Amino acid sequence: MPNLTLFFASVLDADRKGTQLYEFWGREDRPPRPNDPARRGAFFDPSFLAWRARFERLSLSPGALRTMYPVCDLDADVRSVLGSIRVPTLVFHRRDNYWIPVAFGRYLAQHIADARFVEIEGVDHFYYQGDVDGILSAVQEFVTGEHEAPDDDRVLATVLFTDIVGSTEKATSLGDQAWRDLLVRHHALVRRQIAHFRGREIATAGDGFVALFDGPARGVRCGLAIRDAVRPLGLEVRAGLHTGECVRMGDDVGGIAVHIGARISAEAGPSEVLTSSTVKDLVVGSGLSFRDRGSRVLKGVEGAWRLFEAT
């Protein structure tokens, strides 16, 4: 098998001199990186920080890092040697990378003989965030020459929507900085509950979350736990859940089930966790209790839907 050269159009997460990188390598108390617009809240999430620290420890020892990092210094200019590379080369880059313009990745591919360039959607800088499947698929095809047979793009799941009640008024009363700080704490609490109930975060839009669960009871309990967890912050959330067939679209999901879940969430009041009758029927025997909230017409959804409040 020929030698492989994989050029990841990426740089180490560190200050330019590497001093902070050396000091906090493999530690969970690393100072946050608030200039990451795609995943800002993750760097305040204890579960993410623990995963990141373990990832670093398994990747390199501090001694090996001190040896390798100067070679990868951001001031290094390797343009003059690109033409001498004579091994199979894969270059991939996220199109809207917020740290390194995609033109840099294209330049590498253009100046390495017979290099293959793969441009991936997204803004994330780190390869382990965002569309990870797109990267793994590109590497697998490059190494083996074959794509893994894709899974069915439809999956039966419970979708949970959460949203902060009165967020505009709260932001106005607190001011920009205090509101941003409060959102960071809110996001960390929500992510902690999603992870605890074995859910998968799908999207974060403003102050709301979308998460997917393979069990409806876990989804309902997660909604209730989020409701209770954010109250000490002086916040109230509304939540909505529905179980149905979701369409997987990379890291995102779509389909009528997701649309119904969003509409149910919009019907919820402060500190309410509303579910469809489908969810209620599926969790019989789980110990969860519900209050009948009557029938509603959901915008964009045919017919009337019976909704229930999880208590």
pLDDT tens digits, one per residue of 153-189: 788 899 999 999 999 899 999 998 999 999 999 999 9
Residues 6 or more apart in contact with residue 177 via CB below 8 angstroms = none
pLDDT tens digits along 219-271: 999 999 999 999 999 999 999 999 999 988 777 788 899 999 999 999 999 99
Contact between 272 and 307 under an 8 Å Cβ cutoff? The reply is: no
Q: Which of 90-104, 124-138, 198-212, 269-283 has the lowest mean pLDDT?
A: 124-138
Q: What is the pLDDT of residues 188-232, one digit of tens each?
A: 999 999 999 999 999 887 789 999 999 999 999 999 999 999 999
How confident is the prediction for the chain on average, in pLDDT? 83
103, with CB counted inside 10 A (0-12, 13-18, 19+), is exposed
